[in-house]
Structure 1
Amino acid sequence: MLNHITVMGRLTRDPELRHTQSGVPVASFSIACDRDFKDKSTGERATDFIDIVAWRATGEFASKYLTKGRMAVVSGRLQMRDWTDKEGNKRRSAEIVAENIYFGDSKTKEDQEPPASVGGPVEAAGGDPFGGLSGGFAPNFGEPADDGSLPF
């Protein structure tokens, strides 16, 4: 069976990092994802608010580098949870258990130099995602640097 989901949206709040009784870190946050279509009557896009749970290093990464308003790409598995509220009513909620989290926006000047993601590609020092192996190309795949060694 396949249970894989990838969503992109802005964080609605800062991730909350907690630890289980055995000391395992777990972060929870939610992201707002606009739908691809507009409502015919209002002309506006509906927004879905999706709960995310990130365990261990992925949760620590989210807690350390993501903040409210940042764009994030989250991939993982969809999980349904049954629970009982304070009034004794049975409830069901859906959440994504994050396996990989990536930045969905550019860094600002105030941001630190974090890795590109947890569980996915990581930028090398200096911001070159190819670790200096980009063959003279800038990280944005612009014009090659003129180093005089090109055969044409």
Structure 2
Amino acid sequence: MKGLNKVMLIGNLGKDPEVQTLEKNIKVAKFSLATTESFKDDKGQIHTLTDWHSIVLWRGLAELAEKYLHKGSTIYIEGKNKTRAFEDKQGIKRYVTEIIGEQVLMLDKKES
């Protein structure tokens, strides 16, 4: 049996995408995405929880992000969860979990 690694999020960019051009002119864009959930407690008070996600887009999606996405943009994104390890400047092994985007839909209303 195969596994499934699928993430679907709707949220707002926390900052403008940081875009880099790598060798062979391959672009990569990175940004944070906030997703917010609201719920009522037993006393009827509304509480809001915000989670932050690290998003990585490659090639054509990175170009789309560079041209059209900015802090506050609302997007729908589909992708997969990836955790990678790296060593920080002190030589300590660190881990970061990112969403590798495979599809992006811009949900902002068009300006008239």
Q: Percent identity?
A: 37
Matched with 2:100 is: 97
The reply to whether residue 87 of structure 1 matches residue 90 of structure 2 is yes
The reply to whether residue 60 of structure 1 matches residue 46 of structure 2 is no
Question: Greater strand percent: which structure?
Answer: 2
| Number of equivalences | 108
Q: Could you say which structure has the larger radius of gyration?
A: 1
1:57 Cα shift?
0.5
CA distance in 1, matches of 2:91, 2:41: 36
TM-score, normalised by the number of residues in structure 1: 0.64
1:102 Cα shift?
0.4
Runs of 4+ in 1 over 2 A off after TM superposition: 35-40
1:83 Cα shift?
1.2
The answer (yes or no) to whether the contact 1:75–1:99 under 8 Å persists in 2 is yes
The answer (yes or no) to whether the contact 1:62–1:101 under 8 Å persists in 2 is no
| Deviation per residue, 1:23-69 (Å, 9 max, x gap) | 211111111111354678x9531211101110010110011111110
Unmatched tracts of structure 2, length 5 or more = none
Matched with 1:139 is: none
Unmatched tracts of structure 1, length 5 or more = 110-152
Matched with 1:47 is: 50
Matched with 1:29 is: 31
Q: Check 1:21–1:92 CA distance in 2 against 1; reply closer, same or farther (3 A cut).
A: same
CA distance in 2, matches of 1:7, 1:99: 12
The answer (yes or no) to whether the contact 2:39–2:46 under 8 Å persists in 1 is no
1:84 Cα shift?
1.4
Q: How does 1:139-150 map to 2 (within 5 A)?
A: none
1:107 Cα shift?
1.7
Matched with 1:72 is: 75
Aligned-partner SS, 2:61 = helix
CA distance in 1, matches of 2:11, 2:66: 16
Q: CA RMSD in A?
A: 1.9
Matched with 1:10 is: 12
The answer (yes or no) to whether the contact 1:39–1:45 under 8 Å persists in 2 is no
